[in-house]
Amino acid sequence: MGGRQAGARVPFVAQMSEVECGPACLAMVLGAHRHRVPLRELRAEFGVSRDGASARRILEVARAHGLEARGLKVPPDALGAVRKPAIAHWDDHHFVVVEGVGRKGVRVLDPGEGRATVSPAEFRARSSGTLLEFAPGSSFIERRGPRDSWPLRLVRDMMRMAPRWAALAVLLSGVVQLLALGSAFLTKYGIDTLIGERAGTLSGLSLTIAGFVSVYALIGLGRAGALLVLQHRLDGALGDRFMTHLFRLPFGYFQARSSGDLLARLNSNTVIRDLLTSRMVTLVIDSVFVVGYLVLLCAVSPWYALLAAGLGAAQIAIVLATLRPANALAKRELSAEAATQSVAVDALRGAEFVKSAGLVGTVLDRWRGSLGDYLRAALRRRRLDALTDSLTLLLQVASPLVLLLLGVAQVRSGALTIGSMIALNAIAAGLLTPIAGLATSMRYLQTIGAHLERVHDVLDERPEVRRPGITAPAVVRGEIELRGVGFRYGQGPWILRGLTLRVPAGAKLAVVGASGSGKTTMIRLLAGLLRPTEGTVLLDGRPIEEYDVDSLRRRFGIVTQEPHVFGGTIGSNLRLGRGDLPDEALFEALGRAGLLPDVRRMPMGLETHVAEGGSALSGGQRQRLAIARALLADPALLVLDEATSHLDAVTEAEVAGELSALGCTRIVVAHRISTIMDADEIVVLDDGRFTERGGHDDLMLAGGRYAALVHRQLPASLRPS
């Protein structure tokens, strides 16, 4: 393979979800060849799905960016001959970047863990032997990355969300720093004038000090109040921005990320807010006052200025030397923390199953393993922090003593008075204090970069397409049509292909098929949660994309096999923010869903409290609650995806009778034949395609898959011989 081998250090790119190791690895390879591509851009090019990216897809996207790319089967002892950086298939389901081979082992960059050196034995054990090799091709061009730095984004966020309070906090912080100079000049006046020259009065100095302290206290109080209000405003603005954007993202984004991971990203907003209201304000003020103090020192004593600047530069140098490893360790810690949170959320949601199956020990072992990974990552980061803190503390203790030596020498030579020396020491300390603040802020900023990267991975994602000015019509008949619809995740295998059907308004369509045949995916396409890869979904003769997505979904009623129940009361689960719904409407919906007798037997009725997930309700009660909730929306289209599977035959028949009287279009996915026999049309979905369609009697006469399904559900005595 021609071309030069990348000699630059490979820039690390962390994966933002479990399925993004392929795009993250390619981003690192492209970056090593000075072709910077944001991960979100590569994610869109890959079409990353819930199944991740294949080696073939990595090669295809690499070639699209001008790289020559090929896959190799490489024995471990020939690794040194492969062009670097390369991508290795790792642990049977993962990809890592191979940066180089040295005396200590193989240098790899794991997008989920960070940079590491592994022994040849470990590399042989974890690698499948498949490597992807890259080199710049004839069409390859270098590309600079986006110049929009995240510190500037932080400042813009703060000024956009609370401009007045941010400006006031910065102004008052600056005044507080200016007033700090007053103590140095008052000290000089007291020593040189009152003591040395015996001029002035002690009462005058006392009044000046009292006034100075009062003004300082008032302005300090105002600054604290401004920061408090700023913090409050940013708390609301950051959280609202994140959640609003998150729920406008396509459904596929949630399929590729766990709830625990998204919760960790939400919590990162709190860390960012703390930075904005403390470190960012301090950073702006300290930067200004470092220059101001340095100019003042140069004007009074160049020697003091030179020494103080050198001591300050040493503090900055210590922090700069640890920035890169600190950032990598912070990313690794955040990733481990998110994984631990995901394990905990999964365990809590499945508490009933975990306890009933006797898996408490297994789940706790899994959680302890994840927690151990997080604690080890946190310990490594804290060790580096402790080393940096120790070195900077040493400088902070030594700096005043070194300045004192210079001052004493200048006083003994007659270049300074004692008062001037003390004042200069105070001013030099005033210079070193903001420098120390700058150094600390730089450390926090680098650590916070990992939080900001995870938050902006959400904020930079494109939301669902919304057509401005288009709303759902006042009347939706509920006619649904599929025209040549196909769907697949990214470049993966087709899940649905060539689906064409029309469901008239008010009709009932039944969908049957084996598990994995694509029934649930079809339902998600009808609801607009997923967009067809090919073909069109129409509602009342118009493509579904032409409707306002939120208004349209409010006219749909969708009930799944395991519906979600929110923490609260039965009434709040039915209303879901529609406080104007009277109790009579709730009782009517509960009656149609067959849950009203159960609710009436509960002592608190509609005010009965249910935990998140509805753990206090039976499976059948949760399903009927979800059906009642769907009916309250007066749906034009009602979709039932195994929505009565937990009901007994008698209750199911009663609910089906109530739903038949509604007159809305119904699409029913079910295995139980009694639920679908009366459908206007039945379609059999097999391997993503319609293989049979028609009424119950017609399909029975055809003797195909549907007939076989019916025969399996009949008692043996009733089966035809």
Among 81-90, 148-157, 487-496, 592-601, the minimum mean pLDDT is found in: 148-157
What number is the average pLDDT over the span 290-304? Answer: 80
Look at residue 1 and tell me whether its pLDDT is greater than 70. Answer: no
**Does residue 655 lie in a domain region?**
no
Same domain membership, residue 156 and residue 116: no
Q: What is the CATH number of the domain that holds 398?
A: 1.20.1560.10
Look at residue 202 and tell me whether its pLDDT is greater than 80. Answer: no
Q: CA 459 → CA 272, 454, 455, 698, distances in Å?
A: 14, 9, 6, 52
Question: At 714, is the pLDDT very low, low, confident or very high (cuts 50, 70, 90)?
Answer: low
**Are the C-beta atoms of 419 and 192 separated by less than 8 Å?**
yes
- How high does pLDDT run on average in the chain? 83
Indicate the residue among 431, 459, 487 that finishes a domain: 459
Same domain membership, residue 429 and residue 343: yes
Which residue is it, tokens 């203790």? 397
Domain extent for 25: 21-136
**Does residue 721 lie in a domain region?**
no
What share of the chain has pLDDT > 90, as a percent?
Answer: 22
Among 100-109, 313-322, 460-469, 611-620, the minimum mean pLDDT is found in: 460-469
pLDDT given for residue 89 in this prediction? 93
- Give per-residue pLDDT as tens, 590-605: 999 999 999 999 988 8
**Does residue 7 lie in a domain region?**
no
Q: In the structure encoding, which two tokens stand for residue 681, read together?
A: 């049309």
**Does residue 14 lie in a domain region?**
no
pLDDT given for residue 4 in this prediction? 43
Question: At 718, is the pLDDT very low, low, confident or very high (cuts 50, 70, 90)?
Answer: very low
What number is the average pLDDT over the span 354-382? Answer: 87
pLDDT given for residue 61 in this prediction? 92
pLDDT given for residue 717 in this prediction? 46
Same domain membership, residue 233 and residue 315: yes
Same domain membership, residue 221 and residue 183: yes
What number is the average pLDDT over the span 303-323? Answer: 86
- Give per-residue pLDDT as tens, 318-343: 888 888 788 778 878 888 888 888 88
Q: In the structure encoding, which two tokens stand for residue 294, read together?
A: 């340095």
Question: At 472, is the pLDDT very low, low, confident or very high (cuts 50, 70, 90)?
Answer: low
Gap between the Cα atoms of 204 and 608, Å rounded: 73
Same domain membership, residue 599 and residue 548: no
Which residue is it, tokens 């799905």? 49
**Does residue 394 lie in a domain region?**
yes
Gap between the Cα atoms of 540 and 506, Å rounded: 12
Question: Please, what's the largest Cα pairwise distance for the chain?
Answer: 125
pLDDT given for residue 5 in this prediction? 54
Gap between the Cα atoms of 702 and 682, Å rounded: 13
Provide the 3-class DSSP secondary structure of residue 638. Answer: strand
Rg (CA), the chain: 34
Same domain membership, residue 293 and residue 177: yes
**Strand pairing of 534-539 and 94-102?**
unpaired
What share of the chain has pLDDT > 70, as a percent?
Answer: 90
Q: What is the CATH number of the domain that holds 51?
A: 3.90.70.10
- Give per-residue pLDDT as tens, 511-561: 998 888 899 899 889 888 888 999 999 998 889 888 877 777 888 888 988
Same domain membership, residue 380 and residue 336: yes
Q: In the structure encoding, which two tokens stand for residue 640, read together?
A: 């039932």
Among 100-114, 140-154, 328-342, the minimum mean pLDDT is found in: 140-154
pLDDT given for residue 721 in this prediction? 46
Same domain membership, residue 482 and residue 452: no
Q: What is the CATH number of the domain that holds 488?
A: 3.40.50.300
Same domain membership, residue 245 and residue 197: yes
Q: What is the DSSP string of 642-708?
A: STTTTS-HHHHHHHHHHHHTT-SEEEEE-S-HHHHTT-SEEEEEETTEEEEEE-HHHHHHHTSHHHH
- Give per-residue pLDDT as tens, 669-708: 988 888 888 899 999 999 999 999 999 999 999 988 889 8
Indicate the residue among 459, 488, 515 that finishes a domain: 459
Same domain membership, residue 406 and residue 259: yes
Question: At 147, is the pLDDT very low, low, confident or very high (cuts 50, 70, 90)?
Answer: low
Question: At 3, is the pLDDT very low, low, confident or very high (cuts 50, 70, 90)?
Answer: very low
**Does residue 669 lie in a domain region?**
yes
Q: In the structure encoding, which two tokens stand for residue 383, read together?
A: 């060790």
pLDDT given for residue 48 in this prediction? 65
Look at residue 303 and tell me whether its pLDDT is greater than 90. Answer: no
pTM of the model: 0.71
> How many Cβ atoms are within 10 Å of 22's Cβ, its own excluded?
25
Same domain membership, residue 691 and residue 593: no
Domain count for the chain: 4
What number is the average pLDDT over the span 56-82? Answer: 89
Provide the 3-class DSSP secondary structure of residue 277. Answer: helix
pLDDT given for residue 544 in this prediction? 86
User: Would you say how long the chain is, in residues?
Assistant: 721
Indicate the residue among 407, 424, 459 that finishes a domain: 459
What number is the average pLDDT over the span 102-121? Answer: 88
pLDDT given for residue 596 in this prediction? 92
Same domain membership, residue 302 and residue 254: yes
**Does residue 709 lie in a domain region?**
yes
**Does residue 565 lie in a domain region?**
yes
Question: At 715, is the pLDDT very low, low, confident or very high (cuts 50, 70, 90)?
Answer: low
